[in-house]
Structure 1
Amino acid sequence: MELVFLGTGSGVPSKERNVSATALKLLQEQNSIWLFDCGEATQHQILHTSIKPRKITKIFITHMHGDHIFGLPGLLSSRSFQGGKDLLTVYGPEGIKDYIETSLAVSETTLAYPLSIVEFTEGVLFEDEQFRVTCKKLEHGIPSYGFRISEKDKPGRLLVEKLKDAGIEPGPIYQQIKENAVVQTHGGQPIHRDDYLGPPKKGRVITIMGDTRSPEYNLSFVQDSDVLVHEATFGHEKEALAKAYFHSTTKQTANLAKYSNVNKLILTHISSRYQQGDDDKLLDEARHIFSKTELARDFRQINIESK
């Protein structure tokens, strides 16, 4: 599991940062990639990475501001020419369906793959055997949402020594025990899997937030995240401006992480008023409150280790 930041700026692109887009690579888990937001030129940013658009199977849109959606029609179209055949599902707030369908219709774009568009409000958005995705409405100028991606717990490791002590020697039966609740030996002895497994391996939690002010209201939603990706559009000195424009500051975001037992905070959606030379200042403001903070930059990759 790996995060790839394709655009870490806000509002308009700058020389250092493109507008919002973050990829979650789940190649080992699902052989797919999920994209969160798709600002202008996201497909150009992808060209500088190893990401294959045909592997993108889900796109989650936080809100309908242009710096989060203007790259969507181009990416959807290009995916047809880049081997995309599998179903692609776009999840977004009210209006995303009209936006996509109108863009494709007026440009006379035909897709070579099935496209599903899901408009949401709050609650459970998606669930399968491996993951559960929930969304929460945030405080912003228009409806904006955060996404909590929860990996389900995995079975613990097989207790090989305990099996040997029970007279069950290594062989194909070990794999059968892993895959089945109850297995019988050749002698008819029932083997209950739960008796020979260690503690479950806890799944990882990644929370990716859309634009918001008053981040303290979202404490329970981001609680215990392994990684929290959160906007920090402004430095602390622009707190009044952040409030006026429904955004967060470095210190406000760091306080959210501090009081929600987050393991790692990644700041993104940085205003174009801050150039690369300002990165250390922004990072220091947040780290003064929450030491496990990092600042996202375009093309930065963050590996999220299994527990």
Structure 2
Amino acid sequence: MEQVCLETPGAVTSGGSARFLSRGATIVLLVPLALLLAVGFVYPIAQLIKISFFSPDFSLESYRRIVADPLYLLVLGRTFAVAFCVMVLCLVAAYPVAFAMARLQGRNAAIVAACVLIPLWTSVLIRSYAWIVLLQRNGIVNSVLLDAGLISEPLKLIYTEGAVILAVAHVLMPFMILPLYSTLRSIPKELSQAALNLGAGPVVTFLRITLPLSTPGIFAGCVMTFILAIGFYITPTLVGGPSSMMIATLIGQQTTVLLDWSFAAALSTLLLAVTMLLVLVFRKTISLNKGFNGVN
């Protein structure tokens, strides 16, 4: 039976059962996106890099300050360390939730999905203050531990790096769960059933089939949580305090308090460059996995 494909002259071309836009139509559709990307991303980044080098004449003084003062490198290193811990914590805590969401059906799946999505509708500021209530000296956690007799005096839980990691991980958890859920949902259940029928146990089936095929979701979730954690401003400021300053807080101080735009631009440019390098290295490492290559 001959296959019929309806076309609009000059707009689409057909090949088999597929329909493709012509080159002209493709360009017309991509122009608004390209303009939005250029105005909203490329131009601001270019201006940022320009300010870091030209203030007003070409100079590397801002970058020399970053290297010369150990404080700035310490803040930068702390930022990446906290972001990495947040990423790992989110991955460990989110994978079982995403796995359960992908396997559940009906009402149970809807309840779990609501528990994941509802926090996204809550302000980050409110969630940060909630952690202050929980972790402060006279907060709920210390009160419970004192009443249970596990401690003799309140612990210092707030204004620590541990509090920052916990609070930021709580805020970013949905950004890890959703990519994992999408990937796990797309894995055919027949693969796991076939492995079980061939004698593989649940652990071996998970390690040899489910985990490798979920690598794209792991990569997407890790990249999103890592990058978002690096740029977090409100939560580290409220929960961490001055002793746990991160790079976003430092950049904010340079722009709003000290009005040193050149140095703030240099910090931002350095942060952007290191972040892109780490993402490329991470992607190269993950791409060696057969599951990642297979899905893509």
Structure of greater relative contact order (alpha carbons < 8 Å, 6+ residues apart): 2
TM-score norm. by structure 2 comes to 0.27
Q: Which has the higher helix share?
A: 2
Q: Which has the higher strand share?
A: 1
